[in-house]
Chains A and B, each alone.
Chain A
């Protein structure tokens, strides 16, 4: 039997949707997609999740991987890179809200990400992938693992939300997530490779910048509603 690599337990904890960092109140655009009848069943959910992985998933995986090498001097630059890749103000707010939640948990778990960076250097409301990369570093994980968690969460967050909103068969939703496994791996590997090869901070322009106007639009329409179940 091959022993699992060091840090796998921490990796599982960071990817666990029960991690109390506020993710369960965010649908990643699914609530609005359900309202607009873009997502109505298992197959349309699969298409949505794949599309989200190839935009939000790529970007957050790249940012999380880059954040593993963050220092106090480069926080502002990576924060700006995250903003630049998140044109929708509603999505920025959702990312920063979840970053704030994860930061609360990370502060309680680890004294700091590493010797060149304190939690306070991230500010009060950092983007979620930045905190995720720093938490991965604190847990002894690397860029590849940080990217993997980010890409995985880009899929599982909306999947769970859709299950609640549509009353889908939970096995069907879980199978959809598992079927995307190879794609999640590939997105994470590619994003981490770019982030590791980049010389911070100027090289960070190469971090994936895939966008999806549909997701931006869904986020903005959702934020304008008064009768939301999810925060995003």
Chain B
């Protein structure tokens, strides 16, 4: 970009090039880490993937991924969030950006970086400075009212994943209510109703991710490298 920033006064914040950065957020226990593991298992033979985890005590989720050997250790990075997982993905994303930058530096061929948030509440969402697209994971056992309650994660995420669909009859949740509420509050953006236990390959989420990656490659990664800071002094 050099000296020319076009009409955008904040061109320096628009990242071009590099891997697709995918945020994966959602309440505690909804299946974020299980989804990350599923995506890595399904895609790591055809894509170069790395993961950044943001857990309460640093290493719990990273250890889960290592134990399950879904990725080599050096492709998994754990970030400390100072008791505030939400701050670390939205308000001050520095620690996560540093982790992503280090992974990009280490693996020049990266296609996708998955940034998994610490378990949070329905108001959690990722900064656009950290991720290109974001997935919000809720689960059927959390109650079928969750999509109707909304919140930035449910309404704003690029993909809403409703996990544990197999549990619906056991917890008295109405899947039709969940999906129709979700459609209403999300203005038609995609919703994936899944059971990672019954479909460990996370088929619908993989399809969505591959489409996003294709879009990223065509519209973003092919563009010029990131611009210089604009003059202010």
Contact = CB atoms under 8 A, between A and B. Distances in A.
Interface string A9-49: 00000000011111111110000000000000000000000
A229 B81 contact: yes
A164 B82 contact: yes
Interface stretch (A77-85, A96-104, A186-194, A211-219): A96-104
Contacts of B93: 20
Given A226-B58, A227-B57, A228-B58, A24 B84 contact: yes
B108 interface: no
Nearest to B59: A226
Contacts of B218: none
Given A20-B92, A104-B94, A228-B57, A109 B232 contact: yes
A110 B94 contact: no
A137 B179 CA distance: 55
B16 interface: no
Given A24-B82, A110-B229, A165-B83, A101 B98 contact: yes
Interface string B54-90: 0011110000000000000000000111111001100
Given A20-B91, A110-B233, A229-B57, A25 B98 contact: no
B12 A108 contact: yes
A195 interface: no
Contacts, number: 80
User: Chain A contact residues (Cβ within 8 angstroms of B): what range?
Assistant: 20 to 34
Interface in B193-233: 229, 231-233
A18 B92 CA distance: 7
B233 A25 contact: no
A108 B12 CA distance: 7
A107 interface: yes
Contacts of B83: 161, 164-165, 229-230
A22 B12 CA distance: 19
B121 interface: no
A228 B82 CA distance: 8
B87 A24 contact: yes
A111 interface: yes
A130 interface: no
Contact of A22 (B13, B92, B231): B92
A155 interface: no
A110 B95 CA distance: 21
B43 interface: no
Given A20-B92, A22-B95, A229 B82 contact: yes
A21 B88 CA distance: 11
Interface in B9-63: 12-13, 56-59
B104 interface: no
Nearest to B54: A25
Contact of B80 (A18, A20, A164, A229): A229
B94 A231 contact: no
B231 A228 contact: no
Contact of A100 (B59, B98, B229): B98
A156 to B, nearest CB: 14
Contact of A27 (B12, B82, B231): B82
Contacts of A27: 82
Given A25-B80, A109-B229, A164-B84, A231 B57 contact: no
6 contacts: A22-B94, A97-B98, A101-B95, A161-B83, A226-B58, A227-B57
Given A20-B92, A109-B232, 10 more contacts: A19-B92, A24-B82, A24-B87, A24-B91, A25-B79, A25-B81, A27-B82, A97-B98, A111-B233, A230-B82
